[in-house]
Amino acid sequence: MVILARIAAQVSQGDVPDKVREEGDHAAVMGMDMLRALWKGGVRDWVGGGVARYSVDEFFRLPHFEKML
């Protein structure tokens, strides 16, 4: 996710060729699609908000609930 955001940010700043700008726009769309999928999926924290760090099932639908001491 971080690398997609960095690519999109670097391309938006400065004078770059059209091909590079297209790749930056594509990186931004991929990042937003990933965030939307995470938010719609089961890894969303319905009570406290946010998104779980990882899942305990192979389909990434059941978040790992951990207690921080």
> pLDDT value at position 21?
86
> pLDDT value at position 26?
92
Which of 69, 64, 67 is closest to 51 using CA atoms?
A: 64
Q: CB-hemisphere CA count at 13 Å for 27?
A: 18
Q: What is the pLDDT along the chain (69 residues), one digit of tens a residue?
A: 788 888 888 887 778 888 888 888 999 999 999 888 877 776 777 677 777 767 787 777 777 776 554
Start-to-end CA span in the chain (Å): 28
Where do the structural domains in the chain lie, given as residue ranges? Answer: 1-69
